[in-house]
Homo-oligomer: A and B are copies of this chain.
Amino acid sequence: MNVAVVGATGYTGGELLRLLTQHPEVTVTCVTSEQSAHRPLVERLPFLRGHYSLILEPFDPDAISEKAECVFLAFPHTQAMTPTRRLMDAGKKVIDLSADFRLRSPRTYQKWYKAPHLQTALLKKAVYGLPEIYRKKIAGGCLVANPGCYPTGALLPLYPFLKAGVVDSTQAIVVDAKSGISGAGRSPSAATHFPEAHDGFSAYQIGTHRHLPEIVQEITRMSRGNGAGRTRQTQRVLFTPHLLPVNRGILTTIYLPLKQRLSQKNLDDLLDDYQGEPFIRRVSDTPNLAHVRGSNFCDLAAFPTDAGRCATLISAIDNLGKGAAGQAIQNMNVMMGWKESLGLSAPGFFP
């Protein structure tokens, strides 16, 4: 199948192109970049020299339509709505890596992204692209809203517990997340200037990060599954992202209040609900960014704390892998009915 990568020169684009070299069913026929249009792709992504000879193009839905059947859209937030519409009108499958189709409510979208949603009709068609949860819907879909990196790291460990109905929903869930700096994108800024970020560490956007409503939306949907029903209140979530001086990875530490005391075995059994999932690994030690770097894995562990009244959950993902490009390819595989690990079968990177 021919695919296009729109916004190819960022870190997510580069990771998509890296992984797609190993995908047996896919040929990348089109790469776009507004800033570097008409330049060789490898000039902007020199690590791909020898792998691609494509020239970067400006974004043009008609041109893409002729060249590709499936499009990975890595535009900045608020800029993906209309291009998605154009590509879908042309009958293409779209995997949107921006946030533009993740939030079900246009009002919530507008509140957090400071822009009106311009394609609300498409919101109903969009499927939230967490295959471990929405696999069936993704398989039938033609527009996938690829999840945010922080929500992926938070939701995967939470899912078995919310589904099983063991969470004390009267208390807040604490999500303390730490992300590598590639998550901030490829544009230089003061906060990501090497001498500022190196040997530094801090929280940012405390209680105000845009991934919070996305996490809350999905927790709420997960909880409904266990019979809490439509009338259920929104789950209170305390979310603090931190900027970690590494290139890749998100480690998420979650403090989950439980309705009843649970043992280590109880927690392990709940996580083992994921057995058979190709990209979830329950680990018996503590998840470490070093062990998922470059892969599509999400490593998970749960520990009983506060005498069993709380579960401390830990997940490790590569923010560019399971948190972005890897998950996007997994979603494509599900949409196309292919084996879910096509193009994603290589291990990560160590050290």
Which positions in A face B, CB cutoff 8 Å? 11, 14, 17-18, 21-22, 45-51, 171-172, 174, 176, 178, 180-182, 186-190, 192-204, 206-207, 236, 238, 240, 242, 244-249, 251, 253, 255, 278, 281, 283, 285-295, 297, 299, 303-306, 309-310, 312, 314, 316, 345-351
**Ranked 5 nearest A-B pairs via Cβ:** A200-B290, A195-B351, A188-B188, A202-B288, A47-B350
Decide yes or no: A248 and B351 within 8 Å by CB, A47-B291, A49-B291, A186-B193 being known contacts. yes
- Cβ-neighbour of A201 out of B188, B194, B244, B349 (below 8 A): B244
- Name the distance in Å between A13's Cβ and chain B's nearest Cβ: 11
- Please tell me which one of the listed residues B48, B192, B310 contacts residue A193 in the complex, with CB atoms under 8 A apart: B192
Which of B46, B286, B291 touches A203 (beta carbons < 8 Å)? B286
Alpha-carbon distance between A182 and B200 when the two chains are bound, in angstroms = 14
Which of B245, B309, B347 sits near A48, CB closer than 8 Å?
B347
Question: Whole-angstrom distance from the CB of A332 to the nearest CB of chain B?
Answer: 18
Query: Which chain B residues lie closer than 8 Å to A297 at the CB level?
Result: 49-50
Given the known inter-chain contacts A47-B349, A207-B305, A285-B46, please indicate yes or no for A316 contacting B202, CB distance below 8 A.
yes
Determine the chain B residues whose CB is within 8 A of the CB of A249 once the complex forms.
Answer: 199, 201
The copy count of this chain in the complex is 4
What chain B residues lie within 8 Å of A283 (beta carbons)?
46, 49
Q: Could you write out 22 A-B pairs with CB less than 8 Å apart? A: A18-B349, A21-B347, A47-B291, A47-B295, A47-B349, A48-B347, A171-B171, A181-B195, A181-B198, A187-B193, A188-B189, A195-B247, A196-B290, A198-B198, A198-B246, A200-B290, A201-B246, A201-B249, A203-B286, A238-B310, A242-B251, A242-B253
Assess A310 versus B194: contact at CB under 8 Å? Given A47-B349, A182-B351, A288-B201. Answer: no
Q: A351: which of B22, B199, B350 is its contact (CB, 8 Å)?
A: B199
Please pick, from B199, B204, B295, B346, the residue contacting A293 in the complex, using a CB distance under 8 A. Answer: B199
With A46-B291, A188-B193 as contacts: A314 and B203 at CB distance below 8 Å? yes
Q: Are B49 and A346 in contact (CB under 8 A)?
A: no
The chain B residue sitting closest to A278, CB to CB, is B50
Contact A289 B200 (CB under 8 A): yes
